[in-house]
Structure 1
Amino acid sequence: MAPELFTLPGLGWAITPYGLAVAVALVTAWLVSLLLARRDKLPTEVLGTVFVLSAIAGLLAARAGFLLQQGQALDLSHLRSLPAGGLAAFGGLFVALAVGAIGCRRFRVPTLAWLDCWAPAVAIGGAIERVGAFFAGADFGMYVGPGDFGHVLGVTYPAGSPAFLLHTAAFPGLPGLSETSSAPVHPVQLYLAVSCALAFAVGLLVRRRRRFSGQTFLAVAAVFLLGRAVLFEPLRFDASPLALGPLRLQQVSGIGLLLAAAVAWWMLSARAAAQPKLARQWEGGPWTPRA
């Protein structure tokens, strides 16, 4: 958990492990999206720019959303920093989706065809980012004691970490808490990283057998939402309040998005049955670059 790796000469910007993980995640996602786009006969020169713009907009929106939730000012110094645990992920994803859709419309590229390339790329990038969050100690999980579910997976963080500071201030008598480390907590960052990696694998598998454009995107979204609702939201230290029986607010919203994805799948599947050629946009069209 080194706070800084190095400082960029001349700029004075400190590079943290989490910041490096985000950078690697973005570059990896960009490369994967372009590789898949090329296979789907989409214009990679245009979509490379669309990805960059959507990523920048998504990160700014995620950071701004978090600052607003915390009641902090939206000044430039706060917006340009990307601290671990300082992003509102869902808001950022929705803004990135919107900007990507606008870019596809501007350059006359089928949005669903692009999303089938974008979604697996974002999933593998998300897995890398979550590993970075784990090593930064951000977004950690609830306390897990002997006999609790997942106690063998519990991890501790050193003195000075967010988990240690929270436990020391709010739960000084928590079993396992010491002067040098926090009490054991669920490594929910890794739980979500595994969910993202699984979503990436499912996305690649669906791409091989898809029947309509958008199918890969919906499959990746479904796996991610399910993993987040089951493994991440109920076990994070700052879990949202209960909203519907044993379900928390974020879980309810995730289930709502899952239902929306199911409806979209049904509608696109029906359209593919009626117009199979129009539904298979990865086979090429007016947007395909000339050889």
Structure 2
Amino acid sequence: METFKLGEITLTWLNGGDTFMDGGAMFGVVPRPLWTRKYPVNEKNQIELRTDPIFLQLNGKNILIESGLGKGKLTEKQIRNYGVTEESKIEESLAEMELKPEDIDIICMTHLHFDHAGGLTKRDGEGYASVFPNAVIYASEIEWNEMRNPNIRSRNTYWKENWEPIADQVRTFTGEQEIENSIKMIHTGGHSDGHCIITIESGGERLVHMGDLMPTHAHQNILWVLAYDDYPMDSIRAKLEWIPAAIEAGNWFTFYHDGHYRALKWDRDGNIVDSVKRVRPEDKMS
């Protein structure tokens, strides 16, 4: 597991699963010859998208950002359509730190699409149960309301098995939510109506977790938004507000989906000046 030190806080990426989604959908109207210069693509026009939660500890609390894809919940058709090559191994990742899912105190959700919220619940006999029964789960009020009452488009990604078992654990907010004096969740909309970004500050350093407004480092361009975005102009507005300012301030960016970078800094010209790379399985073998 890769780790990264931000001030006094250590971030650790857990194994939340791996998907390979259509590259064209992930880059919207951007022509293929352009985005393939920025991000590798396979012969099926799919790009690798990890679903790896970030673990950190603050004030004695065990905290997750996102929850992973989940395990044992997808049908064979869903596994094929979403290009799933690996399901979540969150329990195993936590065990490496001598922790259990029951030890998680707080979970911060940028939004509640299946690839982010699938890890919140698990199969339990004929039904489903919470994976993290002792955690408070934060999401924006708009996001939580839409998950429970999806529209004709969003019902394909807001699944009742991902929210019904954890309904009494969810705490919603409007606008902003501060957590443990160091984390802020800020509603942006865009990718979903209730989508939010997350910032973490420690020791004079700050990182910005853009969620699915910038799922990979290749989405740094303000205009490169996903075909999956429900409100693309809101995505562009939020990226324009946050990305240039964070680069100017020397902030770190972290990623949930990137198959190649865990965290990085850009300079004003868009060059990567510092980074934490993902250690890929083939790298471990060499």
Taking structure 2 as the reference length, the TM-score comes to 0.25
Question: Quick check: which one's helix share is greater?
Answer: 1
Question: Quick check: which one's strand share is greater?
Answer: 2
